[in-house]
Amino acid sequence: MRKWTLLEQAAAPGGATMTLHQSGNDYAIRVNGRELMSSLHHQSEDALAYAASDHLKSTRAPKVLIGGLGLGYTLKAALATLPEDATVVVAELLPEVLRWNSNPAYALAADALKDRRTKVEMGDVADVIKRQSAQFHAILLDADNETTAMNTAGNAELYQLSGLAAVHGALKPGGIVVYWSAGDDPRFKKLMGKSGFQVSTQRIRPTGGSGGSSGGQHFLFLGKR
């Protein structure tokens, strides 16, 4: 059994406690002891960025919004696949998460955060979205409201018609939103369609740290404006 060392902790929304742990070269973030994300399996975070990059191959100076920094995998994948004239905005709610990722002593996202294409906006991604009008070529959201260990009112709204309308309005014409989900969700896909999106689905099979399958499937719901 792997031994994990507690490195950092912070107060999360709703009175929860968020902690950063390390085991060898691997890191994990937990909320009230429940694993939220880990470097052992980050295919879903990578896939969010790859889906957007595929859509933006012919777009000049693409501007992408990522909801939450996490362990930095979506940001790193976006920077690796987007052109040099891209702008990647990361909306992060917790200053501590930004501090952890910025710390060069941890093998997280310090270099990615220093990339000139990266911009960080502190606050709830839902609030960032509401302040924008036709600004982004892609919006990437992995705060699955059905399964995540940490929710905010803003996260919940992003899965409702009002939030979908705000996302639609924040995208440029032809832009794309990519939602991560732990499972298929026909009801939510119908809501996306009602909000004016052309909806498609991608399936992801997560893998464990050894490269083997960890079981189950995750889903990406893609909505083109």
Given a cut of 50, whether residue 73 has pLDDT beyond it is yes
Is the backbone of residue 73 left (phi > 0), alpha (psi -120 to 50) or beta? alpha
User: For 169-205, how does the pLDDT look when each residue is reduced to its tens digit (9 = 90+)?
Assistant: 999 999 999 999 988 999 999 999 999 999 999 999 8
Q: Whose CA is closest to 184, among 207, 216, 206, 158?
A: 216
Report yes or no: 128 and 116 within 8 Å, Cβ to Cβ: no
Tens of pLDDT along 38-67?
999 899 899 999 999 999 999 999 999 999
Residue environment code for 11-33, b if the CB has 16+ CB neighbours within 10 A, otherwise e? ebbeebebbbbbeeebbbbbbee
Higher-confidence residue of 36 and 212: namely 36
pLDDT band at 149 (very low <50, low <70, confident <90, very high): very low
Q: What is the pLDDT of residue 205?
A: 80
What element of type H or E holds 98? helix 95-102
Model confidence pLDDT, tens digit, residues 82-140: 999 999 999 999 999 999 999 999 999 999 999 999 999 999 999 999 999 999 999 99
Provide the whole-model pTM. 0.92
Residue 31 has pLDDT above 70, yes or no: yes
Nearest CA to 150 among 65, 68, 27? 68
Specify the long-range contacts of residues 204-211, CB closer than 8 Å, at least 24 apart: 204/43, 204/44, 204/47, 205/43, 206/41, 206/43, 206/44, 207/41, 207/43, 208/40, 208/41, 209/26, 209/39, 209/40, 209/41
* Topology annotation, domain 41-224: Rossmann fold (3.40.50)
Whether the pLDDT of residue 210 is over 70: the answer is no
Q: Are strands 118-122 and 87-92 parallel, antiparallel or unpaired?
A: parallel
Confidence of residue 147 (pLDDT cuts 50, 70, 90): very low
In the structure encoding, which two tokens stand for residue 174, read together? 């032809």
Q: What is the largest CA-CA distance in the chain?
A: 50
The average pLDDT across 135-152 equals: 72
pLDDT at 145 over 80: no
Of the given ranges (74-83, 116-125, 145-154), which has the lowest mean pLDDT? 145-154
- Domain assignments of the chain as residue spans, ordered by start: 41-224
